[in-house]
Amino acid sequence: MTPEDFKKLKKLVEKDLKWEKETAQDKEIQLSGLYAKYLDAFITQANIRRKLELKRERLFGKLYHKYKFEFQFQLDSKSEVESYIKSDEEYYEASLELVNQQMITDYLEEVLKEINTIGFNIKDYIELEKLKRGVY
């Protein structure tokens, strides 16, 4: 997901989760569909994150071999090898991509929690309004 796509997603979430007193019952009906929509997005993005994690792990192994056995200098300790790996441009780019993807999945996870919270808030609001009107 590009940064621009992420901005669009955030705007869409803001629009989807907004509710007002007048639209509380309609929003309550829509919440299950919204939850399914964002759960699907979360699962998709979590799968992408997992693939990026595996890609970075594989790159780590490849670079470890490179710096341990094929490097121009003798690196004796694991920490020396890891230091070279972490400063490697390709590994840095893979890590950055993974961090960005983690941010997206964390955001979507929070959206799902917010949908649940909104559901309870709307139900509480509706019950309070019924109480005020003496519907019970």
In the chain, where are the structural domains located?
Answer: 74-125
DSSP secondary structure letter of residue 136: -
Asked whether 54 and 113 are in contact (CB, 8 A), the reply is no
Cα 104 to Cα 46, 52, 58, distances in angstroms: 9, 13, 22
Q: What are phi and psi of 88, to 5 degrees?
A: -70, 135
Asked whether 94 and 55 are in contact (CB, 8 A), the reply is yes
> Using one digit for the tens of pLDDT, what is the confidence trace for 60-91?
999 999 998 988 888 888 899 999 999 999 99
pTM: 0.81
> Using one digit for the tens of pLDDT, what is the confidence trace for 28-60?
888 889 999 999 999 999 999 999 999 999 999
